[in-house]
Amino acid sequence: MKEPKLFDISSLPYELSESDSVLNFLLAEPSAVYQHATTATENAIDKIRDGLPKQAIDTVLAKTNISRTQLSNILHISTRQLNRYEKDERLSIEQSNFLYEFTRIYTRGLDILGDAASIDAWLARPNMALGEVSPIELLDTGEGARMVNDLLSNIEYGFYS
C-alpha cells in the first residue's frame, strides 16, 4: 500500500495579518501566522495587556530612525525613565499600546512607501495635510495616530499626501 503524501504547509501562500506583522517587528519572533485573524488580534491585545517587554523598545530604536527622545514623547515617559528599564521589565499597558500603535503605523508605512528610509523621512517631514506638522509629532495621542493612519490610507489609494 502506498503511503499518502503529506501536505507541505510551508508551500502555502499566506499573508501575515497586520497584528502578526507588528508583533514580528516588535518582538522579533513569529507569532502563529496560520491562525484565524481574530486569534492574531486577540494575541496582540493579550501582549499589550501583559505589557510589551523592554526588548520591544530596543528593537524599535534599532530598526527605525526614531530618536530616544521622540520615542519617550510617544510613550509619555521621560528619556531617563526609558533608559532605566531593566532587560526583563515590561511596559505599562498604556506605554505598550502607544508602542504598538507606533509600530503598526511604521510597518504599514513600510508596506506603502517601500523602505525604511522613505518612511523615516515621511514621518519626520512636516505635512500640509496634517497642518504642517510632521506625522511623528502626532503619534503621542490616539487621535493623532488615527490622522496619520488615514493619511497613509490616502497615499495607499493614490491620493497625493
Residue 40: what pLDDT? Answer: 58
pLDDT in tens, the chain (161 residues): 444 444 343 443 445 576 777 888 788 654 434 344 445 566 888 899 999 998 899 999 999 999 999 999 999 999 898 888 888 889 999 999 999 999 999 999 998 998 899 999 999 999 999 999 999 999 999 999 999 999 999 998 887 65
Cα 139 to Cα 123: distance, rounded to the nearest angstrom: 10
Three-state DSSP state, 158: coil
CB half-sphere exposure, 105, CA atoms < 13 A:
27
Per-residue cell: 60: 524599535
Cα 95 to Cα 60: distance, rounded to the nearest angstrom: 13
Give the phi and the psi of residue 134 in degrees, each rounded to 5.
-75, 145
**Are 60 and 34 within 8 A, CB to CB?**
no
**Tally of CB atoms within 10 A around 147:** 19
**Are 69 and 39 within 8 A, CB to CB?**
no
Residue 46: what pLDDT? Answer: 87
* Predicted structure pTM score: 0.77
Residue 6: what pLDDT? Answer: 40
Residue boundaries of the structural domains of the chain: 16-156
Q: Cell match 506583522: residue?
A: 21
